Amino acid sequence: MKKVLVLLLIALLCSLALPTHAQSARGPATVLRNANLRGGPGTTYTVVGGVTQGDSVTVIGCNAACDWYELADGSWIAAFLVDLTLTTPAPAAEPITVVTWNTELNDADITVIGDRIAAFQDVDLWGLAEVNRPSDQSTLEQAAAVGENADYGSVLSASGGGDRLLALYDRSRFTLIDSWEEDAINTTGNARAALVLQLRVTTGGQEFLFMVNHLYRSRDDERHQQAELLNAWAARQTLPVIAVGDYNFDWAVSGGQHDAGYDLMTAGERFVWVRPETLVTTQCSGWPCEFNSVLDFVFTAGAAQTWRAESEIVVLPGDFPDDNTTSDHRPVLARFWPDEPIVITPTEPARPTATPIPSGPTANRKANLRSGPGTNYAVAGSAQQGQALRINGRNPLGDWVQLDNGSWIAAFLVNGVPTGLNVVEAPALPTPLPVPPTVTPVPSPPTATPVPAQPTAPPQPAAPSGEAKVIISSIFYDGLVSRVESDEYAEITNVGTAAINLGGWRLNAGDNGQDFRFPSVDLAPGQSVRVYTNQIHPESGGFSFGKGSAIWNNKGDCGLLFDGGGQVVAERCY
């Protein structure tokens, strides 16, 4: 009996000592898509070759988890990449792997950025921001394909000027059904519309939307409006959504404080953040980094929120601080398993219902109403942020709309402006009546005999000895300080012949609340002062708005200068 037990023990030990490939997975198999062959069971092993979709291979075994197969030539392939019709353990589900990255190509080298992209492996989708030249599109396509044994297609946004969005996708993995831009997200026309691709997975037929965003950095109000519009957009979608990009929500790594745009976008859980297990800063300005926050996100909407998902912020040793060849952002990688839905247990609290959003037009911020379509018309009231508006028509340009009470509001201040509005004739601007000259009465002598007065010319007022005239002589609207552009400024100049005190005057940077009020200071003829966004320069007056982020648009903005009585005395647009 002892001898039998010893023999059984020896047999058991021998079976445990078999190599990892000595499993029951054997036989011919068909390659499901173009794939790399590795020197061992994992992507950490060297690429030793490649196979093409439809190729026949011979499987001789698998690793312990049976998620990698060993082929007859000694190379290895991931199990989900082949069809092996045997009674073997089911291969691991194939994830959809996504990377989003702000490449900062306006201040980086395309070769260095391309090399960083090429170093990634097994990435199916790329969502890139700040691609500043159309010629970069093909370069980045080729970089994504390095080592992948795959062909990548791409879609470059039309909006964005020198800061465009680019989506790359593996053609062997996905079929591109359609692509478009959500122009409404480009709230001022000077930024970037959301880039959307409708894709179908070639194996299984799963369709979904892949969205790339880069929201406003310099203007909080516009970023918040963009976030609200994205939330409303998500509510209208019927397909699963993966949304990636640079959202500028400034989620603090320590403490979780964040920009209000995050809450506006995720309201009602219409978007859900695929949050990395470990948070580190995704962007670095200065050294040490001025901020310790997450700006780059991966979100899901709709049915994609039920997919198993994971993400990580990809840190490369020495990636920060950046230089003039590298990006000041870190990539964020996420993986999705559409075939492995998340199981919500009964103990998990129910998700709150979506916060209702008005279906009609609403004011997107507090705004003045005017008696006509322009700021040269009198103020006729005001609208509060979120207030429902009843729109009656528009002016010929469509940049102002008339409300049902006859007042007017600028179209960019309204969310959900209807299409097909009738053109309404604008009221005439009131013509100011000429002010007659004041004539000092001269008393007549009481004893004088009345003599018919001869017609005389009205008295001429004495010419003033000097006159002040103050203008906005220049606006430096594209600051050189990264992200916050604190060095923006507006220059105020007295081009008249007399000094004037600016006490109580107000400089407005184009939006309600973006105001600087001057203290009591004399501005001599020919003298200029500057009002900076967030810097103090005593040599030019020492004035500052004290704003923590840029306030001047890089295109299509106006500055207004008001005197102490609230009258516009100067305007400068660009």
The pLDDT value recorded for residue 190 is 84
Q: Mapping DSSP to helix (H, G, I), strand (E, B) and coil, where does residue 362 land?
A: strand
Average pLDDT of the residues of the chain: 84
Cα Rg of the chain, angstroms: 33
Relative to beta strand 96-102, strand 125-131 is parallel
Which band of pLDDT confidence, cut at 50, 70 and 90, is reported for residue 24?
low
pLDDT at 428 over 60: yes
Q: CATH number of the domain at 368, please.
A: 2.30.30.40
Of the segments 38-42, 444-448, 478-482, which one has the largest average pLDDT value?
38-42
- Return all residues near 215 (Cβ < 8 A) that are at least 6 apart: 191, 223, 226, 227, 245, 246, 247, 248, 261
CA distances 550 to 167, 216, 477, 481, 486, Å, are: 28, 10, 9, 10, 6
Which band of pLDDT confidence, cut at 50, 70 and 90, is reported for residue 565?
confident
Query: What is d(CA 217, CA 373) in angstroms, rounded to the nearest whole number?
Result: 29
Whether residue 197 contacts residue 209, with contact meaning beta carbons closer than 8 Å, is answered with yes
Residue 134 and residue 51 share a domain? no
Of 443 and 264, more confident: 264
Residue 137 and residue 75 share a domain? no
Q: Is 434 part of any domain?
A: no
Choose the final residue of a domain: 386, 415, 444: 415
pLDDT at 69 over 70: yes
Q: Could you tell me how far CA 263 lies from the centroid of its own chain?
A: 15
Choose the final residue of a domain: 83, 112, 130: 83
The pLDDT value recorded for residue 89 is 52
Of 346-360, 414-428, 477-491, 549-563, least confident by mean pLDDT is 346-360
Q: Which amino acid appears at position 357 of this protein?
A: I
The pLDDT value recorded for residue 316 is 92
Burial of 400 (0-12, 13-18, 19+ CB in 10 A): buried
* DSSP symbol at 283: B
The pLDDT value recorded for residue 175 is 97
The pLDDT value recorded for residue 379 is 77
Query: What is d(CA 493, CA 248) in angstroms, rounded to the nearest whole number?
Result: 36
Query: What is d(CA 345, CA 350) in angstroms, rounded to the nearest whole number?
Result: 10
Q: Is 447 part of any domain?
A: no
Which band of pLDDT confidence, cut at 50, 70 and 90, is reported for residue 52?
very high
Bridge partners, residue 56, by sequence:
30
**pLDDT, mean of residues 328-354:** 72
Q: Is 3 part of any domain?
A: no
Choose the final residue of a domain: 61, 83, 105: 83
Q: Domain of 368?
A: 363-415
- Return all residues near 523 (Cβ < 8 A) that are at least 6 apart: 468, 470, 492, 494, 499, 500, 501, 502, 529
Q: Is 26 part of any domain?
A: yes
Residue 228 and residue 128 share a domain? yes
Q: CATH number of the domain at 310, please.
A: 3.60.10.10
Which band of pLDDT confidence, cut at 50, 70 and 90, is reported for residue 350?
very low
Residue 372 and residue 333 share a domain? no
Q: Is 313 part of any domain?
A: yes
Q: Mapping DSSP to helix (H, G, I), strand (E, B) and coil, where does residue 53 land?
A: coil
Query: What is d(CA 414, CA 363) in angstroms, rounded to the nearest whole number?
Result: 5
Query: What is d(CA 420, CA 401) in angstroms, rounded to the nearest whole number?
Result: 12
Number of independent structural domains in the chain: 4
Residue whose C-alpha is closest to residue 547's, from 521, 510, 502, 501: 510
Residue 224 and residue 102 share a domain? yes
**pLDDT, mean of residues 444-456:** 47
* DSSP symbol at 371: S
Residue 394 and residue 332 share a domain? no
pLDDT digits (tens, 9 = 90+) for 266-308: 999 999 999 999 999 999 988 888 889 999 999 999 999 999 9
Residue 249 and residue 373 share a domain? no
Query: What is d(CA 214, CA 193) in angstroms, rounded to the nearest whole number?
Result: 8
Q: Which amino acid appears at position 305 of this protein?
A: Q
Query: What is d(CA 431, CA 254) in angstroms, rounded to the nearest whole number?
Result: 60
Residue whose C-alpha is closest to residue 321's, from 99, 108, 550: 108
Structure tokens at 14: 């021998």
Query: What is d(CA 451, CA 472) in angstroms, rounded to the nearest whole number?
Result: 55
Residue 318 and residue 240 share a domain? yes
The pLDDT value recorded for residue 355 is 45
Whether residue 217 contacts residue 225, with contact meaning beta carbons closer than 8 Å, is answered with no
Residue 375 and residue 312 share a domain? no
Q: Is 57 part of any domain?
A: yes
Q: Is 433 part of any domain?
A: no
Residue 287 and residue 162 share a domain? yes
Residue 110 and residue 238 share a domain? yes
Which band of pLDDT confidence, cut at 50, 70 and 90, is reported for residue 454?
very low
Residue 397 and residue 516 share a domain? no
CA distances 472 to 99, 202, 466, Å, are: 45, 59, 20
First and final CA of the chain: distance in angstroms?
98
Residue whose C-alpha is closest to residue 482's, from 134, 112, 130, 188: 130
The answer to whether the predicted template modeling score (pTM) of the entire model surpasses 0.75 is no
The pLDDT value recorded for residue 348 is 44
Q: Is 490 part of any domain?
A: yes
pLDDT digits (tens, 9 = 90+) for 114-169: 999 999 999 999 999 999 888 999 999 999 999 998 899 999 999 998 899 999 99
